[in-house]
Chains A and B, each alone.
Chain A
């Protein structure tokens, strides 16, 4: 093995280790692309042209796209509200949303609105796990936030700065999966 091949081969475990150490999933996707390029180069240098071609096509194209879709669709927190509340208390809810995005953005999570017509629909949506967090404005002061996910509750408890109540309410029929 010539010394230049040796140097380039040493880059492969190096970039793989860097990929494992990434905490931000989006940055990890980009590093995965770099790892694919380095791997294709090393395979070609070692004489495996077919493997290098496969790595270039699958590793940098297909894997990145599939992981991008997976990360984009799974790292989302859905926040359920009733439409009437959104109209009457829009400003407070917007403040809450900004705060949620700040807190959960540190964990690389996105927050999306899901609106329901009636409070009963909202409760049912939470019970069927359509949404992860709900906001109710039953009393005139303050907004009540409820989540059935313990980990989310812990994060919100730890990081919360604006004066609003957060509750943890486990699902009645615990189905697991979170």
Chain B
């Protein structure tokens, strides 16, 4: 059963990756980035349970806990860029 769930998660993971390939507003790419970050950690956690690998689960949790801080700085930088460009 976990394999089916994993395939479903991989399918959902492909959607923001496809979104990244399309031209559009940079904020849509940022949304895809936040989605990819969450989904990759969740896939890591699920595979950790499937393989009974405690260490991989720890990596997933740490990615989830610290991964988003850089994106917030990036978002603020992009906002400043949009302001000075006008």
Contact = CB atoms under 8 A, between A and B. Distances in A.
Do A and B touch, yes or no (CB under 8 Å, in the complex)? yes
Interface of A: 4, 7-8, 11, 14-15, 18, 24, 26-27, 29-31, 33-34, 37-38, 40-41, 44-45, 49, 52-53, 56-57, 60-62, 64-65, 68, 72, 101, 105, 110, 112
B10 A8 contact: yes
B70 A64 contact: yes
Nearest to B37: A37
A11 B77 CA distance: 28
Contacts of B36: 34, 37-38
B71 to A, nearest CB: 6
Interface residues of B, number: 41
A100 to B, nearest CB: 12
B37 A11 contact: no
B59 A53 contact: yes
Interface string B25-66: 010011011001100100110010000010110111011001
Contacts of A24: 26
Interface in B9-31: 10, 13-14, 16-17, 20-21, 26, 29-30
9 contacts: A11-B17, A30-B26, A34-B20, A41-B40, A41-B43, A49-B59, A64-B71, A64-B73, A68-B74
Contacts of B74: 29-30, 33, 64-65, 68
B37 A26 contact: no
Contacts of A57: 62, 66
Contacts of B81: 26, 72, 110
A7 B63 CA distance: 21
Contact of A60 (B43, B47, B58, B70): B70
Contacts of A72: 77, 81
Contact of A101 (B40, B73, B85): B85
A60 B14 CA distance: 19
A27 B23 CA distance: 10
Given A15-B20, A44-B44, A53-B59, A26 B85 contact: no
A34 B63 contact: no
A31 B78 contact: no
Contact of B59 (A14, A26, A52, A60): A52
Nearest to A57: B66
Contacts of A64: 70-71, 73-74
A56 B56 contact: no
